[in-house]
Amino acid sequence: MVKNILVTGANGQLGREIKYVAKNKDYKDFNLFFTDKNSLDITDFNALEAFIKENKIDTIINCAAYTNVDKAEENPKDAYKINTYAVEGLAKLANKYSIVFIHISTDYVFDGQSYAPLREENTTNPLGVYGKSKDEAEKKILEINPKDAIIIRTSWIYSSLGSNFVKIMLELSKKHKTIKVVSDQIGTPTYARDLAETIFKILIAKNRGEGSDGAEIYHYSNEGSCSWYDFAKAIFEICNIDCNVAPISTMEHSTLAKRPLYTVLNKNKIKKDFNLAIPHWHDSLKKCLLQMEAKRGKTHNIGIIGSGFIASGLAKLLDKRSDFKLQYVLTRSDISKRSDFFRPELLTNNLNDLIKSCDLIVECSGDAIYATDCISEIFKANIPVVTMNSEFHITTGSYFVNKGILTEAEGDQPGVEAILKEEVLDMGFKPLAYVNIKGFLNENPIREEMEYWGAKSNLSLEMVTSFTDGTKVEIEQAFVANGLGATIAKEGLLKIKSDSMQEAGEILAKKAKELGMPVSDYVLSSKLPAGVFIVAEHENEQSDALKYYKMGDGPYYIIEKPYHLCHLEIVKTIKRVLRGDGILLNNGTNPKISVAAIAKHDINAGDKIKKGIGSFDVRGKAVFIKNHPNHVPIGLLANAVFIKNVSKGEIVTFDDIEIPNTLAKEVWHKITAIYRQ
């Protein structure tokens, strides 16, 4: 059921980050209304109630606040009006209309005299007007006690958006060689995007009916603690800014409002109740600054995993750009024998070389098991990863969603379909089918033919075989189905033979209508361009305009991209991530579709397969996981020994084989555990 969510204070740091997360995470169950003081005055109870009733609001996230701590001392009336009485009104409306109410409070409700991490039940004793007005609001909420109310106390908020300590320090460093910063106030910086993502996790839990009845207080900040002095030093160290930071005491830094000296928050309760893993403040600061630097045009250090066709092409492209510096290219091959690589000195066999030196890493090995191992280590260092590796995503990618920044790139068909979806939605279309175009298909090719075409195309035997037998396109469209909120019309896909996008598109659109959701599939044609297209519908009121634009009579319209340029387009996604513009495509946290290994011929007990993808023993077929919970995804089928006979055309199961215990195997079983219960 779709929830109508009111977000107040939408132009503040947290409000803007909630908007960013909502846009880039594609929460289909949430319909958000973002308001500021100009569009909705939260101090006007009647206007607030009218808005709630008109828009059928069932959730409120209150980010609105009077946050100028020193000015609050001079304008207590305004501070209490916004921070206390408006919040009281919100709580009353939440109680009256059974609305989920999330209110953001502050560490300044404490006096800072305790030097152990503060728990929710610790006695509050605010020192100034700002803290007192927020403390009174908490008491009003607890007194009214709406059924689903959550108060989140947080501390030292910053973001790449809005005004905050991080931006102030960066600006001051341009004007001063030495900056004096308070060193005896201890707390924890909170990256607003981390808090925004946590709020969505809480909403999802509430949507599932989790959480206790009645108002609850939770503490949230990033992990760790520091002083403002430590915080400032970390900012300059991460940005390589030569600016001296001189520590001073609170007594030496005169302010109108008295600040608490210690407000480190204990977060055990929120971590336990909502199963959260909270990043350390230094790691989140680095992530935020990386995005801010991308917007300022800084040169970023890039690493590449893989040294084949895609990786080498990307490496050559990056090597000629001034905005990126290619640091290392990770390969599993013998470097001494890689004279074919354009700059052999960039090659390394050590992943740590990339982790220690890179701002972002591109994974394009095409190997699900290897990519799983690498990305697991990269995420420990909080480094963003861009992939061109559908094989990885469809096999284990779901495990890594929300554990770090991970996205498939533009260039290969899934990424191109994802970016095309963004364009289609912006134009007001409703996608019905995501369609790949494939020029040929032979599900059981012979080795001699594949060797010929591999040599002719300068592609590996495995790659050209997986293209030919349909494994690659089945993987791509299964990935698209999971990642773009679609399904497949049937296992093995429809694979429509047609030289007309319109004809094939209408078949797929009608199937989508029949199923009640978009479908992912492909068209077989030697005449159509090597690209992708989306079949979509639009409002009837736009039909005349679309006809004028030569889009046809409708009701189904074809929006195509007639090319995909693989490694040449990866750069667009690298820049997207560094700008902080969000994930383009991942496999989702709860995948429905997988790609099973299907025997190309009778396989006997004792037979071995070195690698399933691109082999002459098995091919890939898109399947519903719920129908085949024990199937072996083809990306996991490596160094396998068959312990049972498998007939031609049968799906290979875990009962049929023995494969090494790898992280990828462990992760796959975690992802699919729900289907085996």
Could you give the CA distance from residue 127 to residue 268 in angstroms, rounded to a whole number?
A: 25
- How far apart are the C-alpha atoms of 500 and 522, rounded to whole Å? 12
Residue 433 belongs to a domain? yes
Domains in the chain: how many in total?
4
What's the CA gap between 491 and 481, in Å, rounded? 12
Q: Is residue 369 part of a domain?
A: yes
64-73, 205-214, 362-371, 474-483: least confidently modelled range: 205-214
At residue 294, the pLDDT reads 66
d(CA 71, CA 75): 6
Based on the domain organization, do 138 and 269 belong to the same domain?
yes
Q: What is the tens place of the pLDDT at every residue in 222-243?
A: 999 999 999 999 999 988 889 9
**Average pLDDT over every residue of 212-227:** 91
On the CB side of 68, CA atoms within 13 Å amount to 11
Max Cα-Cα span within the chain: 84
Residues 303 and 397 in one domain: yes
Catalytic residue among 20, 27, 66, 130: 130
Task: Round to whole Å and give the CA distance between 26 and 21.
Answer: 8
Give the other-Cβ count within 10 Å of 120's Cβ: 16
Mean pLDDT score, 151-167: 92
Same domain, 515 and 538: yes
* Percent of the chain whose pLDDT exceeds 90: 79
Give residue 240's pLDDT: 84
Indicate if 12 and 39 belong to the same structural domain.
yes
Instruction: Report yes or no: 120 and 219 within 8 Å, Cβ to Cβ.
Output: yes
pLDDT for res 275: 87
Do 306 and 438 reside in the same domain of the chain? no
Least confident of 317-321, 401-405, 626-630: 401-405
- Residues 480-535: tens digit of each pLDDT: 999 999 999 999 999 999 999 999 999 999 999 999 999 999 999 999 998 999 99
In a domain, residue 180? The reply is: no
- What whole-number distance in Å separates Cα of residue 521 and Cα of residue 489? 8
Amino acid identity at 325: K
Boundary (domain end) residue, out of 408, 424, 459: 408
Tell me which residue range forms the domain holding 339. Answer: 299-408
Q: Give start and end residues of each alpha helix (H) in 458-550.
A: 461-468, 471-483, 501-515, 543-548
Give the single-character DSSP code of 279. Answer: P
201, with CB counted inside 10 A (0-12, 13-18, 19+), is middle
Sequence-distant (≥ 6) Cβ neighbours of residue 628 within 8 angstroms: 594, 596, 651, 653
Q: Is 130 a catalytic residue?
A: yes
**Residues 472 and 608 grouped into a single domain:** no
Bond from prior residue into 555 cis (ω within 30 degrees of 0): yes
Same domain, 318 and 457: no
Gap between the Cα atoms of 657 and 641, Å rounded? 6
Return the CATH number at 347: 3.40.50.720
Q: Which of 51, 81, 70 is nearest to 127 (CA)?
A: 70
- Asked whether residue 137 is assigned to any structural domain, the reply reads yes
21 and 130 in a single domain? The answer is: yes
Q: Given this model, what pLDDT does residue 403 score?
A: 86
Reading the block at residue 350, the tokens are: 């050590």
Q: Are residues 435 and 395 in the same domain?
A: no
Does the pLDDT of residue 136 top 70, yes or no? yes
Say yes or no to pLDDT of 628 above 90: yes
Q: What is the DSSP string of 614-625?
A: T-SSEEEEEEEG
Is residue 429 included in any domain, yes or no?
A: yes
Per residue in 540-556, pLDDT tens?
999 999 999 999 999 99
State the pLDDT at residue 26: 64
Q: Are residues 268 and 311 in the same domain?
A: no
- 192-207 vs 13-25: helix crossing angle, rounded to 10: 60
How many angstroms separate the CA atoms of 389 and 34, rounded?
36
Within a domain: residue 290? no
pLDDT of residue 347: 96
pLDDT at 637: 96
User: Which residues, 6 or more positions from 345, have their beta carbon under 8 angstroms from its beta carbon?
Assistant: none
Residues 132 and 271 in one domain: yes
**pLDDT band (50, 70, 90) for residue 22:** confident
pLDDT for residue 145 is more than 70:
yes
Mean local confidence (pLDDT), 263-276: 92
Q: Give the C-alpha separation, 3 to 55, whole Å.
A: 11
Most confident of the ranges 29-43, 136-150, 624-638: 624-638
Instruction: For residue 532, tell me if it sits in a domain.
Output: yes
Within a domain: 181: no
**Confidence label for 292 from pLDDT (cuts 50, 70 and 90):** confident
Helix (H, G, I), strand (E, B) or coil at 228: helix
Identify the domain boundary among 525, 547, 564: 564
Q: Say what the pLDDT of residue 297 is.
A: 66
Kindly report the three-state secondary structure assignment for every residue of 344-355: HHHEECCHHHHH
At 554-574, the pLDDT tens digits run 999 999 999 999 999 999 999
DSSP letters of 166-202?
HHHHHHHHHH-SEEEEE-S-EE--EEHHHHHHHHHHH
Q: Which of 667, 618, 622 is nearest to 638 (CA)?
A: 618
| pLDDT above 70: residue 211 | no
pLDDT level of residue 624 (50, 70, 90 thresholds): very high
Percentage of the chain modeled with pLDDT above 70: 99
Query: For 117-137, what is the mean pLDDT?
Result: 95
What is the rounded average pLDDT for all residues in the chain? Answer: 93
Residue among 384, 429, 414 nearest 582 (CA) = 384
Same domain, 54 and 152: yes
Q: CA-to-CA distance for 191 and 524, rounded, in angstroms?
A: 48
Do residues 393 and 587 lie in contact, with contact meaning Cβ atoms separated by under 8 Å? Answer: yes
Tell me what pLDDT residue 665 has. 97
Residue 98, token pair as written in the block: 């059974």
Structure-token pair, residue 434: 């995501």
